[in-house]
Every structure is written in structure tokens, then in C-alpha cells.
Chain A
Amino acid sequence: MEHRYAFPGVPTRRLVHISQMTEPMTVFDRALVRRRRERARAGYRDFAFLEEEVASRLVERLEDIRRRFPIALELGARSGALGRLLRANGAVETLVQADLAPGWAMERAAEGPALALDEELLPIADGALDAVFGVLSLHWVNDLPGALSQIRRALKPDGLMLIALLGGETLVELRDALSEAEIEVTGGLSPRVSPFADVRAAGGLLQRAGFALPVVDADTVPVTYATAFHLMRELKGMGESNTVLERRRTPTPRAVFTRAADIYAERFGLADGRIPARFQILYLTGWAPSADQPKPLRPGSAMARLSSALGTTEVAAGEVATGEVAAGEPPSGETPGVE
């Protein structure tokens, strides 16, 4: 079931909000996530495109929210793309940049206050922040509901969280090709691509974490690569290769990757010989609850009659006005409204 939320300041893109619980479990090896991110720093410049693209899309969403934020925290600051845009945007007075990898955090310290932190154990006092932003940092978190609720606690009343994370449609082609190749070559299957949150679950998570006015919208960053090998190399370059705890511990036979690249090209290949891939991005918006926020009125508390707004005559329940047909019951025979 989909719900549309229209709330002031945020455009209606694809607004989905679903109450659905997912249980937290330890799926990811956080120490490995950190090492991957740290290691990716050296050659990162060539792989920054996704961070930069998603950062600019996130800031577009922020521009729709006319608000000033005296102090804000950025999670997963990496090479600083979002930080640069936020500083240029001017809505944030003091931006604190954080990353799981101390190397990245120390690099960001040249631009302002920075720290290393683990999103699973947020070291921020309750009610300390006006906003929390983040790009592609929370998809390797084991307990996403817990991380979100820690963010909510760190916000002042009516503080904003606006974060982008990878969605469940990310790299589906790669996942299919790898699974199939692994089964063919080794006769077994091991987890290779992160189980991402989907749009539906994300909305429920926001609500469960105690956010008011939760909104999730999604879009896609489509890319093409020469081969599946180029795609996998890029993931490694971004520091985003597999950190699933139950990943295969022995080296994968090279034949698995070769076969996967073939399957990928055969099944999804484009006319020009390249292969398409897509990153689905979920944008999660939520506000720390505050008494000033718009809330639904209590039933029966209306100050004006619907009938006067519509310019019709009110009919008491149980009676049927002459010449009218009850809603939802098409009259038999003639098409209504046609003479």
C-alpha cells in the first residue's frame, strides 16, 4: 500500500511511506567496511562520481526546504562532495563532517570541524543538532532502525534528517549474473552484493525510528561500463565491495567472474557492446517530532461544514437525496451524465 504525503517545502516526487518492520541482524563486517573505505582513499578521485552525483541530488531536495540550520552533521563525508555543496548552499552555519574512516575525517578537518564515528554508535548528545545529512553511508549499517533512531535522538525538536542511501534495485543485473555464474561454476551460492533497503521498508523504518512527517523518494543513477569487470573494479575503487559477514572466505574461482561477465553481456548488453548498471538511490527525509509541526486534527473538530465549502446541501446520514445516486454504485442502464 502506498501513501502520498504532501508536506510543505518538499516536492511530490515519488513519495512512498509504508509501515513495515525489518528485524536488525548482524550482516556486515563493520571493521572491513572501515578498512575498505580507508583503502579506497588513495585512488578515490577516479571513483567519486556516484558520491558527487548523489550529493547534488540531495542538495536539490534541501533547496526545497527553506530553513536555516545553525549546526548540522554530515555522515559519511568521504571526499567532501556534499560538504562543499552544503557550504555553497548557505543553509548550514556550522557543518560538522564525519566519516567511519579516520583518514577521510582527518582530510575533511581542513574544511571545518570533523570527526571519525561509527554510525552504529553515534557519539552525539541528545538534541544537539539542527540537521543530519548523509550520502551513501548507511547501507553498510547492520542495525539501520537503530542508527536512524540515534540520529533522531541527536536532533533538536523539528530538526531535519535528509540522507541518501542505496536502494534494493541497485545493481540487480550484477547480482543476477554473479549468482547464476557461481551456481554454474561452483554449484553453490554465497552472498556477494549487499542486501539493500527497499523503498517500502525505508518508510517504515523512518516511522519506527520516531521521525515525524517521514518521506522516502527514490531515483536511479544509470551508468554503463565496458564489461562487468569494469563495474566490479569501480565498486572496489569506491570502497564498496562486499563486506557481508557470510561472504565466501576462500578465493572465488576466476571462472565465476568470467562467466558472470558473459552472462551480464548476453542478457543485459547494449547495442554498442557496453553493459548497463544502475544505482537506486533512496532519499529519506524525516523530522524530529515537535509540538509546532502540522498534525491531523481530531475527528469532529472541524470548524466549517464540508457542504458549505462545496456549495451543496447537506444530507443527513441514512437519507438519500432525490435524483442522486449513492457514490460507488453505478446506475444500471444508461451511462450517467450523458443525455
Chain B
Amino acid sequence: MPGTDTAIGSETVTAVDPKLLEILVCPITKRPLSYDRARGELISEAAGLAFPIRAGVPIMLVEEARRLDEEPVIEPSVGDAAPEDLL
């Protein structure tokens, strides 16, 4: 619905089936992802990539992902991978 860009509206757009969230990991590092509900992204801190969710469909393709280093660092996660583990 154009013009109704409310929190609820954006949530329905990006809502991911909970069963998907249970099984998905980062395609490169195979580590858990964090779900950024507001941005509609699945974030792999270790790989430095944010995978988009389009209409509830996670797009787990590296070439479609946003690089996290392209914007201010959010927060380094504890026990994160050594640089050579990053893509």
C-alpha cells in the first residue's frame, strides 16, 4: 500500500517464515545470521554481508548482498572471525 509506510506495513513486507529463520545460516561462513527486521536484512557479521529479504523471500546470494563495510561499523560481535576467515 503506497503511502502507508508504517512499522506494521514494513514488517509485513519483510516478514520471513520463522521456519526459514531456524534453518538459515551465512552461505560463506555457515555461521548464524542476525535478522534485522527493520531493514529487512539477514546479517552475517563474520562475512561482513547483509542479505536482503524481498517480499519475505531471503535472497542468500553473495552478489545480491550489501557489504557491511560500506557504511559505519555497527558493532563488532564478540569472538568474531579472524580476518582470514572473512571473504
User: Cβ of B20 and Cβ of A115 under 8 Å apart?
Assistant: yes
User: Cβ of A117 and Cβ of B27 under 8 Å apart?
Assistant: yes
A116 at the interface (CB under 8 A from B): yes
Minimum CB–CB distance for A150 against chain B, Å: 9
Per the bound structure, the CA–CA distance linking A109 and B27 in Å amounts to 20
User: Cβ of A109 and Cβ of B55 under 8 Å apart?
Assistant: yes
Contact size class for B? 20 to 34
B25 at the interface (CB under 8 A from A): yes
User: Cβ of A126 and Cβ of B30 under 8 Å apart?
Assistant: yes
Minimum CB–CB distance for B60 against chain A, Å: 4
Partner of A123, one of B19, B54, B60: B60
User: Cβ of A116 and Cβ of B57 under 8 Å apart?
Assistant: yes
User: Cβ of B27 and Cβ of A123 under 8 Å apart?
Assistant: yes
Chain A 110-150 per-residue mask, 1 if CB under 8 angstroms from chain B, else 0? 00111111100111111011000000000000000000000
Partner of A116, one of B28, B32, B64: B64
> A124: nearest residue on chain B (CB-CB)?
B23
Minimum CB–CB distance for A274 against chain B, Å: 40
> A120: nearest residue on chain B (CB-CB)?
B27
Partner of A115, one of B28, B60, B63: B60
Minimum CB–CB distance for A70 against chain B, Å: 10
Given A102-B54, A113-B20, the answer on whether A125 and B64 have CB atoms closer than 8 Å is no
Query: Inter-chain contact count A-B, CB under 8 Å?
Result: 73
Given A96-B19, A96-B20, A115-B20, the answer on whether A102 and B59 have CB atoms closer than 8 Å is yes
A22 at the interface (CB under 8 A from B): no
**CB under 8 Å from chain A, chain B span 39-70:** 51, 54-64
Per the bound structure, the CA–CA distance linking A129 and B28 in Å amounts to 19
Chain A 150-172 per-residue mask, 1 if CB under 8 angstroms from chain B, else 0? 00001000000000000000000
**CB under 8 Å from chain B, chain A span 3-31:** 31
Per the bound structure, the CA–CA distance linking A273 and B26 in Å amounts to 53
> B51: nearest residue on chain A (CB-CB)?
A123
Minimum CB–CB distance for A319 against chain B, Å: 60
User: Cβ of A115 and Cβ of B62 under 8 Å apart?
Assistant: no
Partner of B19, one of A31, A113, A117, A122: A113
Per the bound structure, the CA–CA distance linking A324 and B64 in Å amounts to 74
Write out the residue numbers on chain B whose beta carbons fall within 8 Å of the beta carbon of A116: 57-61, 64
Partner of A94, one of B19, B24, B26, B28: B19
A106 at the interface (CB under 8 A from B): yes
User: Cβ of A71 and Cβ of B19 under 8 Å apart?
Assistant: yes
New contact pairs (19) apart from A113-B20, A123-B51, CB-CB < 8 Å: A31-B63, A71-B19, A94-B19, A96-B19, A100-B61, A102-B57, A102-B61, A102-B64, A106-B55, A113-B17, A115-B20, A116-B61, A118-B27, A121-B28, A121-B60, A123-B27, A125-B30, A125-B32, A129-B23
What is A's interface to B at a CB cutoff of 8 Å? 31, 34, 71, 73, 94, 96, 100, 102, 105-106, 109, 112-118, 121-126, 128-129, 154
What is B's interface to A at a CB cutoff of 8 Å? 17, 19-20, 22-28, 30, 32, 51, 54-64
